[in-house]
């Protein structure tokens, strides 16, 4: 089977699977190119309320498949950055479900997700120092925002791999699950995500990512959404809320 990104939508959750098992799900040039338009498609699907990024089988992504990146290092890096930025800009909650290796470009993609859940035994590394590559400024800032400058420097300076427990302690991942429990926990948590207000989630995502210039926009969205009234009514009536606001589709 050709290396590819596969996706499915089930119960309002889009799952994108990195599939290249012969090379630990390393991303080919074609896969890097295909991710932004796929994300745009899923962002515009009103059925999708959350997105999970994962790898085929027992590993997440071992980075870039260098054999397919035939241009200059700068061109190859540009492909990765465009994919990373498209994932970071996805307007609905995103979660990386990580088993095995999450290294190089794989760590770059995982860091661009809102949340990261990992299985025991997962290994993480940011490895440009092994190839003499300057890690992009935007990717470095994103890594620093997750783990702080000291751990970011440790990862970038050394290229060493760290285990899931250290990744949890440093903030690189949010939860670590015993072997065999990751899929169940991701399904459970995404059910929670799709039951909550998209209005709250979308605004919180922008604010947490540094977009603090749209207070007036989100105040207007809140006033017109009906989500607050529905949330209060559901609380008082002891029922699940039925939130109506959804992320506007482009075009």
- Dist. CA 39–CA 142, nearest whole Å: 19
Beta carbons within 8 Å of 187's beta carbon, 6+ residues apart? none
Please name which of 130, 250, 114, 137 lies closest in space to residue 190, comparing C-alpha atoms.
114
Sign of torsion over alpha carbons 100, 106, 107, 109: negative
Domain ranges of the chain: 4-193, 197-237
Topology adopted by domain 4-193: 2-enoyl-CoA Hydratase; Chain A, domain 1 (3.90.226)
Pairing of strands 101-103, 123-125: parallel
- Dist. CA 23–CA 12, nearest whole Å: 31
What's the pTM value of the predicted model, to 2 decimals?
A: 0.94
pLDDT, tens digit, for every residue of 62-119? 988 877 766 666 777 889 999 999 999 999 999 999 999 999 999 999 999 999 999 9
- Dist. CA 139–CA 195, nearest whole Å: 31
| Alpha helix ranges (H) inside 89-163 | 105-112, 137-158
State percent of the chain over pLDDT 90: 83
């Amino acid at each position: 089977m050709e290396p590819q990104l596969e996706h499915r939508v089930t119960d309002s959750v889009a799952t994108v699977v990195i599939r290249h098992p012969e090379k630990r799900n390393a991303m080919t040039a074609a896969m890097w190119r295909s991710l932004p338009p796929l994300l745009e498609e899923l962002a515009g699907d009103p059925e999708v309320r959350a997105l999970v990024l994962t790898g085929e089988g027992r590993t997440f992504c071992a980075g870039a498949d260098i054999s397919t990146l035939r241009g200059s290092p700068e061109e190859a890096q540009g492909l990765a950055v465009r994919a990373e930025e498209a994932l970071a800009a996805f307007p609905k909650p995103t979660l990386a479900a990580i088993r095995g290796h999450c290294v190089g470009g794989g760590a770059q993609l995982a860091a661009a997700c809102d949340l990261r859940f990992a299985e025991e035994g997962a290994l993480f590394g940011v490895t440009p120092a092994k190839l003499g590559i300057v890690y992009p400024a935007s990717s470095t800032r994103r890594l620093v925002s997750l783990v702080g400058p000291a751990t970011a420097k440790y990862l970038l300076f050394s290229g060493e791999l760290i285990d899931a427990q250290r990744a949890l302690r440093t903030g690189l991942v949010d939860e670590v699950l015993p072997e065999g429990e990751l899929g169940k926990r991701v399904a459970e948590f995404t059910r929670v995500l799709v039951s909550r207000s998209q209005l709250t989630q979308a605004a919180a995502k922008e604010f947490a990512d540094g977009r603090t210039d749209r207070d007036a926009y989100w105040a207007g969205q809140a006033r017109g959404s009906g989500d607050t009234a529905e949330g209060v009514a559901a609380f008082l009536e002891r029922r699940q809320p039925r939130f109506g606001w959804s992320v506007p589709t482009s075009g």
